[in-house]
Amino acid sequence: MENEVLKALKNRRSIRKYRPEQITDEELTAVLEAGTYAPTGHNKQDLWIVAVQRKDIMDKLIRLNAQIFNVDTNPYYDAPTIVLVFGSPLTENPNTIQNGSLILGNMMNAAYAIGLGSCWINREIEMFATDEGKELIKEFQLPENVMGVGAISLGYPVKNPSKALPRKENYYRIIK
């Protein structure tokens, strides 16, 4: 069975090299809105999406993530936009990570569908548990008890993504 959505799901790849120009507001809004349509347990929608394009804040995010990752490079791959997802603490919603992951996946697929590149970025849980991360949460005007779930780098890819590697044998099972 084939259709445009299934083709996009098979062809989307993580992008780690971006052109320097910023994406348009229309493209950003389309990606963010796609994130808001991800399912959340009991339709709680107790997550927040923050898109960052301001250089000074991006520099802080890059530095914090690089420190936790213990690298000297930019963990967001020099993308012109960083999109963060935050959720209620696990004590309030044990599904926060799963819900946030669905949001991130929706946004990555939406980005691909409109010609943008994206890559899942980890370590936001640790970043926003730090004092500096908590200050950023205040600056983003989010509830102070939220936790970072994850992020995506977002921008125009330098080149078209490579083909998907073959899927492993016996990846799924059908039990009838």
Cα-Cα-Cα-Cα dihedral sign, residues 162, 12, 101, 152: positive
Asked if residue 163 belongs to a domain, the reply is no
Asked if residue 72 belongs to a domain, the reply is yes
Report the C-alpha gap between 55 and 68 in whole angstroms: 20
CA distances to 10, 12, 36, 38, 77 from 4, rounded to whole Å, are 10, 12, 21, 19, 28
Residue-wise over 99-120: b if at least 16 C-beta within 10 A, else e? bbbbbbbbbbbbbbbeebbbbe
Distance of CA 69 to the CA centre of its chain: 17
Asked if residue 36 belongs to a domain, the reply is yes
pLDDT tens for the chain, 176 residues long, are: 789 888 888 888 999 999 999 999 999 999 999 999 999 999 999 999 999 999 999 999 999 999 999 999 999 999 999 999 999 999 999 999 999 999 999 999 999 999 999 999 999 999 999 999 999 999 999 999 999 999 999 999 998 888 888 889 999 999 99
Asked if residue 130 belongs to a domain, the reply is yes
Residue 148: both structure tokens together = 């970072």
Give the residue numbers spanning the domain of 51: 4-155
Asked if residue 161 belongs to a domain, the reply is no
User: Can you give the CATH number for the domain in which 121 is found?
Assistant: 3.40.109.10
**8 Å CB contact between 120 and 150:** yes
Domain total for the chain? 1
Asked if residue 65 belongs to a domain, the reply is yes
Asked if residue 160 belongs to a domain, the reply is no
**8 Å CB contact between 153 and 31:** no
Asked if residue 106 belongs to a domain, the reply is yes
